Structure 1
Amino acid sequence: MLFTQSFREKIIRWIFFIVALVSIGTLFLIFIFLVTEGIPLFKEISIREFVFGRYWYPTSDPPDFGIYPLIVASFSVTVLSAAISIPLGVMTAIYLAEIASRRFREIAKPVVELLASLPSVVIGFFGMVVVAPFLQETFNLATGLNLFNASLMLAFMSIPTICSISEDAIHGVPKELKEASLALGATRLETILRVILPASISGISTGVILGMSRAIGETMVVLMVAGGAAMVPESIFDPVRPLPASIAAEMAEAPFRGDHYQALFATGMTLFLFTLCFNLIAEQISHRYRQTGAATL
């Protein structure tokens, strides 16, 4: 019996190891593919010209392959969407876990999780048809397809993920901690801010990382509502073209193995590194405040 159980444990361990190895290997192969297809571009232009060039005109003669406006657009959209989605997502999670009635929570939680499954093209269509005209008329803009619209839609996509995971983490804080805080004379608000949130910060960080990772790499929404202008934005109402949108919009028309084709793969490599850096930084922040206990995810 012991031999059988030990043998089963070894099989399960090897299965998990193989699955993890396949996942890591797939990610590594994707990066190698991006590097293989993108690196030849730098025989024509320098890395400095590519990263810090201010003009993206890949079809002009001679072409310009500066992705600085695309990087700024991606960074701006991500930061603005994070500024919207993180507070709203976490505060909604706090309300559902600690303030709302049980009946309301049982209704609202599935609705929030359902919103997380909405296709990005539906969200982008909503941004084009509803949000863009509203922004254009309200702020008297030339176009409603701009950085702010894209940030709103990405925030809308991220909030359900952040809220759902954060709510699970907050709800998982042991009751003993809450009761001890209240017994010592702390108010409900003080208990939430000084006991519950610190105890669940690891789970909340996980939700933020997952939500923002989706926003960074999102293609369809920014392609539909960001405006498509490869320029450095001077305000949140300027049209922009983030890195994923540029790749999606131009890959079909780029000559195979031409400079434009290679520039798009180099852009994809940049996006890959950008996402990797974000996840590493977020993981370090999460690890710094990681707690042990029921609230940790």
Structure 2
Amino acid sequence: MAKSYERQEAKPHLAEEWVGKVYTFVCILFLVITIFSMVYFVASKGLSTFFVNDVKIGDLLTGLKWSPEADIPLYGALPFIFGSFSTSILAALIAAPLGFCAAVFMVEISPKFGRKYLQPVIELLAGIPSVVYGFVGLSVIVPFFRDVFPGQGIGIAAGALVLSVMILPTITTIATDALAALPSGLKEGSYALGSTRFQTIYRIVLPTTLPAQMTGIVLGIARAFGEALAVQMVIGNAPHIPHSLFESTSTLTSAITLSMGNTAMGSVHNNALWSLGLILMMMTFLFVFIIRMLERRSKL
């Protein structure tokens, strides 16, 4: 009787396990199909510029002029690529020290005050819409740069400053998690040898958690690289390589959002914009690869 009862109880559990496995497999299959479909769609449209419209890939990547409506159309995307990289890297250079210092303060110096007040404020920045950042940058940062520095105020500096505030929560959160996960024995050993708190932070904590903190920086750059609206409002959207931080330029996302709705599907201009989108996707894959490499190094 006991064995038959156990068999009857095992059948519902086996059925539930089978249903769970099937449901999980279907979800994973749907996710994989969606990702590959998006990659195929963007790649097929982007590569049409080179294989159907006879635009050379070297001219697109290294060309300095973007004039698709001229008598002799030119599709040089180097100003957009330069604008995307310059604003993203400059934003990371501004946000990284602030994020690291905030993380050190919340974990090592004043955990109670930092976790109670500072961390919620920083995390609140992640929930603000990008259009708000762009409007604040256009209303506050651009007039300030116009009054203090030469130029109209719009340009790489304004875009990078807006992006630095947008990516600050990402860098700070990852740095905080990395510092909190550090084994306490390392710090205790440093204190036992007579090191001060700041010596321990500078020589033990930060070097040990550097790979994880670099992961936060790369994620921040990836976020800034794909941002469109906030940068579009303060960067000027001029398709040329600027000679200073206070000259207007444009980014890949700005070029796509400003022109995609005004082009006919299948035209050379439309396919060139899809090529810009393909460059963005390839850069995203590169950032993911870098993050994976950093995660391997971050294992203690």
- TM above 0.5, yes or no, is yes
1:44 aligns with 2:44: no
Q: Could you tell me how far 1:124 is from its partner in structure 2?
A: 0.5
Following the alignment from structure 1 to structure 2, what is the Cα–Cα distance between the partners of residues 145 and 20?
45
Q: Which moved more, 1:174-183 or 1:217-226?
A: 174-183
**Residue pairs, 1:139-150, within 5 angstroms:** 139-141=149-151, 143-150=152-159
1:27 aligns with 2:68: no
Structure 2: tracts of 5 or more residues without a match:
1-8
- The aligned counterpart of 2:131 is 121
**Residue pairs, 1:48-127, within 5 angstroms:** 48-127=58-137
Q: Which moved more, 1:16-25 or 1:206-215?
A: 16-25
Q: Could you tell me how far 1:275 is from its partner in structure 2?
A: 2.1
- The aligned counterpart of 1:265 is 274
Alpha-carbon distance change, 174 to 68 in structure 1, aligned in 2, over 3 angstroms? same
Q: Is the contact made by 1:38 and 1:266 (CA closer than 8 Å) also made in structure 2?
A: yes
Amino acid at match of 2:34: T
- The aligned counterpart of 2:261 is 252
Q: Is the contact made by 2:215 and 2:294 (CA closer than 8 Å) also made in structure 1?
A: no
- The aligned counterpart of 2:5 is none
**Residue pairs, 1:200-279, within 5 angstroms:** 200-279=209-288
Amino acid at match of 1:144: G
Following the alignment from structure 2 to structure 1, what is the Cα–Cα distance between the partners of residues 12 and 208?
40
Following the alignment from structure 2 to structure 1, what is the Cα–Cα distance between the partners of residues 22 and 97?
41
Structure 1: tracts of 5 or more residues without a match:
293-297
Following the alignment from structure 1 to structure 2, what is the Cα–Cα distance between the partners of residues 226 and 34?
26
> What's the C-alpha RMSD, in Å, of the aligned pairs?
2.2
Q: Could you tell me how far 1:67 is from its partner in structure 2?
A: 0.5
Q: Is the contact made by 1:52 and 1:67 (CA closer than 8 Å) also made in structure 2?
A: yes
Q: Is the contact made by 1:40 and 1:262 (CA closer than 8 Å) also made in structure 2?
A: yes
**Residue pairs, 1:7-22, within 5 angstroms:** 15-22=23-30
1:137 aligns with 2:173: no
Alpha-carbon distance change, 203 to 10 in structure 1, aligned in 2, over 3 angstroms? farther
Alpha-carbon distance change, 176 to 210 in structure 1, aligned in 2, over 3 angstroms? same
Aligned residues: 290
1:172 aligns with 2:181: yes
TM value normalised by structure 1: 0.89
- The aligned counterpart of 1:181 is 190
Following the alignment from structure 1 to structure 2, what is the Cα–Cα distance between the partners of residues 12 and 260?
48
**Partner deviation per Cα, 1:158-188 (whole Å, 9 max, x = no partner):** 1111102211221232333322221121221
Q: Is the contact made by 1:199 and 1:291 (CA closer than 8 Å) also made in structure 2?
A: no
Following the alignment from structure 1 to structure 2, what is the Cα–Cα distance between the partners of residues 198 and 28?
38
Amino acid at match of 1:136: R
Alpha-carbon distance change, 140 to 234 in structure 1, aligned in 2, over 3 angstroms? closer
Q: Is the contact made by 2:105 and 2:114 (CA closer than 8 Å) also made in structure 1?
A: no
Q: Could you tell me how far 1:44 is from its partner in structure 2?
A: 2.6
Q: Could you tell me how far 1:120 is from its partner in structure 2?
A: 0.5
Which secondary structure state, in structure 2, belongs to the residue aligned with residue 121 of structure 1?
helix
Which secondary structure state, in structure 2, belongs to the residue aligned with residue 45 of structure 1?
coil
Alpha-carbon distance change, 89 to 3 in structure 1, aligned in 2, over 3 angstroms? farther
Q: Is the contact made by 1:90 and 1:166 (CA closer than 8 Å) also made in structure 2?
A: yes
Q: Percent identity?
A: 34
Following the alignment from structure 1 to structure 2, what is the Cα–Cα distance between the partners of residues 35 and 262?
10
Following the alignment from structure 2 to structure 1, what is the Cα–Cα distance between the partners of residues 58 and 289?
24
Q: Which moved more, 1:245-254 or 1:230-239?
A: 230-239
Following the alignment from structure 1 to structure 2, what is the Cα–Cα distance between the partners of residues 25 and 189?
50
Following the alignment from structure 2 to structure 1, what is the Cα–Cα distance between the partners of residues 293 and 103?
23
Alpha-carbon distance change, 103 to 76 in structure 1, aligned in 2, over 3 angstroms? closer
Q: Could you tell me how far 1:21 is from its partner in structure 2?
A: 4.0
Q: Could you tell me how far 1:264 is from its partner in structure 2?
A: 0.5
Q: Could you tell me how far 1:113 is from its partner in structure 2?
A: 0.6
Which of the two has higher C-alpha Rg?
2
Q: Could you tell me how far 1:101 is from its partner in structure 2?
A: 4.8
Following the alignment from structure 2 to structure 1, what is the Cα–Cα distance between the partners of residues 22 and 189?
44
